[in-house]
Structures are given as structure tokens and as C-alpha cells.
Structure 1
Amino acid sequence: MKRLIALTLCLAGTLPFAVQAQQAGSTANFGPSMGDREFSLSGSGSSSRKFDNTNFGISGDLGWYLRDHMIAGVRQSINYADLEGESLIDDYWNGATRGYLNFQTTDGRLRPFGGGSLGFIYGDGIKNSAFAGLEGGLKYYVLENTYVLGRMEYQWFFSRSSDAEDAFRDGAFAYTVGLGYNF
């Protein structure tokens, strides 16, 4: 078992070198330019071992490149949870609508990004409220205009702007993986 773990770590350690070599040898123009748009579709989900407690979500983004490295956009998320025996309500639906602004590196296939969002969350079993978020992630271009996306957000919720600072300590993380396209 220890040998398998060591081998896995060694192979994973070579991934950045393989990505860098692939970027250096490529003549294709990957990624967007100022004025381009992008659309991405992401998903998440989990279930208990017996599939009696399940949740899943989907998120769609539509963004515009204000500069080669800066994107502003709108993101819509919809989530569903089926929680047997947890409360009087078995099925929960909720959604979140938000605007975002992200900055990303502009060269190569692998593009780290970071930014923030501001929006509103609503639905069953939650208090409808505004939220702010910090986010970061990676895009990896598999084709000139198509990428795989991984993103993590830290969101904090508030009803009034005066509550936002105190709410930061009580935030939540959201993770997503998806595919996107520049056009």
C-alpha cells in the first residue's frame, strides 16, 4: 500500500512538467481575447451509501472578457436535496443568482483565476438573503476554445449591508467542476 501511494505521488509530481512541456511545444492560440464571451456548465453532487440522502447541483456561467485577463459575468446555480428523515420536508430546491468578476493568467493552456461575486440565494429550507463570495480555480484548455474548469468559492450571507462583515466568519464553501467554451 505504501508503495502504491509513493508511486502515485511520484506520478502526480510529474504532471506540472508535462503540462509545461505541452504548453512550450504548442503553436495553437488557446483561450479568449478581449471582447470574447464564454459559457460554462458545471455540476456537483453527493449521495449516502444507500442513496437515501442525495443532493446535486448545476451551475451555468455567461461571461464577457473586458480585457484578455479580466472577465465579468452572470452565474445561475440550482441545487436539489432529497434528505430522508432529516426534517418534515424531504425535498429541497434552492437557487443562487450572482454577478462575478474574475482575473486570470493569459498565457498557455493552464490558467489560474481568482475574483469575487455578489448575488442572492433563495429557496426551500434556507433564509433568502444576499451573499458575497471570493473564488478561485483553474481552467485547462483541452482545445483552442474549450476548457475544463475547477472552482472553489467561499460565500457569506447577509440580509443588510451592515451584517456583511460579521457574516464573513459564518460562511460556506462551494465547489464545482465543469466544462466551458469561448466564443
Structure 2
Amino acid sequence: MNMLKKAPLVAIMGATLLPAVAMANMHGHSSIGPNQGDREFSLSGTGSSSKDFDNSSFGISADYGWYLSDRTLAGIRQSISYADVEGEGLTDDFWNGSTRGFVDYHFGQNAARPFVGASLGAIYGDGVNDTGIAGLEAGLKYYLLPTTFIQARAEYQFLFDSGDSASDNFDDGAWAYTFGMGLNF
């Protein structure tokens, strides 16, 4: 009789522990993250605004890539940004875009995966001269599910028209930050 009273409690405890065991298995070495040959799609955003919201900008970036190995991702990135700039006698809107190829190398095999990489491509639009763009990047992906992650990335980008101007312009680069999510398939 005493055992019958405890049976519902044991069943509830077992049902509660089952998802925890499943999550522990999901975060194991071989079940989380990409494998060689997998593809990846991610969507990230960025934005900024002055304290009075006079000058604002926002952007979106989409990445599509292929895993050359479990750790090396090569792909293409499309970014679009909008800026609303106000000043003395100046009110203007700028649309800019960039298309870049990139290669990233990922470290670790757990849910948190730091990465470093580089990109090369072109920038174009209203607020910039159409020109080449190159950059170095670092970031972190965190897998919430075996194939779904959130990510943060910082890119140091510089513009150039030729090989000579690339080395001259490296010191005049700018930082770009993004936060988003993605999936492997």
C-alpha cells in the first residue's frame, strides 16, 4: 500500500528527468553542430541610434555556407543597411549593401563554438563609393538545439580599390557587429 502511494511521485519524477536526460544526450560530442558536407543558413541584425533618435541605422545580414570539414565553413554573405542621418541643414537616407565570400574556422565540439575567419567582396550603395571590402572576423555560436544556434560576430572591415590601397586602408577600417541565429541542414 505504501508503494502504491509513492508510484505517482516516482512517475512524475521520471517524467521530469526524461527531458533532462534527452538534453544531456543532445549536448554530447557527436550529436551537436555540423558535420562535413552540411550546409548552414543564418540571419543576423544590427542597429544603432543617437540618444535623441535623430541619427539611426539598422542592417540585416544573411549567410549561406557549406562545411568543408566539421570545423571549416565557406560561404557567401549578403548585407543590407539603412541609415537616417540628420544634421545642420542635412536630412538624408542612405541604403548600402555588401556581398562577400567568407571562410570561418570553428573551435570546440560542445554547444559553445568560438570561430575566427576572413571575408572578401564588394560594398555599394548611396553612402559609400562602390569598392572592394575585406575583413577579419571573430564570433561565437551557441547551439540551443543540435542544429540550431544563436551567434554574435564582430568584423573588422576595410575598403580598397587596389592591392596598394588595401594595405594603406587597413588602419582606417571600421568595426561591424551582428547578432542572430541560424541552422545547419
TM-score range, shorter chain: 0.7 to 0.9
Deviation at 1:128, TM superposition (A): 1.2
Higher-Rg member (1/2): 2
Match of 1:66 among 65, 68, 88: 68
In the other structure, the counterpart of 1:75 is: 77
In the other structure, the counterpart of 1:137 is: 139
Summarize the Cα distance change of 1:86–1:172 in structure 2 as closer, same or farther, 3 Å threshold.
farther
In the other structure, the counterpart of 1:182 is: 184
Contact conserved, 2:119 with 2:136, CA < 8 A, in 1?
yes
In the other structure, the counterpart of 2:103 is: 101
Deviation at 1:98, TM superposition (A): 0.2
In the other structure, the counterpart of 1:159 is: 161
Contact conserved, 1:68 with 1:106, CA < 8 A, in 2?
no
State the one-letter code of the partner of 2:97. G
Summarize the Cα distance change of 1:86–1:129 in structure 2 as closer, same or farther, 3 Å threshold.
farther
State the one-letter code of the partner of 1:103. Y
Contact conserved, 2:108 with 2:114, CA < 8 A, in 1?
no
Deviation at 1:48, TM superposition (A): 2.2
For 2:78 and 2:40, the matched residues in 1 are separated by 14
State the one-letter code of the partner of 1:58. I
Per mean C-alpha deviation after superposition, the further-off stretch among 115-124 and 81-90 is 81-90
Summarize the Cα distance change of 1:86–1:133 in structure 2 as closer, same or farther, 3 Å threshold.
farther
In the other structure, the counterpart of 2:13 is: none
Per mean C-alpha deviation after superposition, the further-off stretch among 139-148 and 41-50 is 41-50
Summarize the Cα distance change of 1:59–1:86 in structure 2 as closer, same or farther, 3 Å threshold.
farther
In the other structure, the counterpart of 1:5 is: none
For 1:132 and 1:80, the matched residues in 2 are separated by 20
**Percent identity, aligned pairs only?**
56
Per mean C-alpha deviation after superposition, the further-off stretch among 26-35 and 45-54 is 45-54
Contact conserved, 1:146 with 1:182, CA < 8 A, in 2?
yes
Kindly report the root-mean-square deviation, in angstroms, between the aligned alpha carbons of the 2 structures: 1.6
1:43-94: CA deviation from partner (whole Å, max 9, x where unpaired): 0111223322211000000010000000000000000001123675510000
For 1:58 and 1:102, the matched residues in 2 are separated by 19
Q: Normalising to structure 1: TM-score of the pair?
A: 0.83
In the other structure, the counterpart of 2:24 is: 26
In the other structure, the counterpart of 1:13 is: none
1:101-147: CA deviation from partner (whole Å, max 9, x where unpaired): 01002400000000100010011121111011100000000011100
In the other structure, the counterpart of 1:90 is: 92
DSSP-derived class of the 2:87 partner:
coil
Aligned residues: 160
State the one-letter code of the partner of 1:112. P
Match of 1:51 among 50, 53, 61: 53
Q: Normalising to structure 2: TM-score of the pair?
A: 0.82
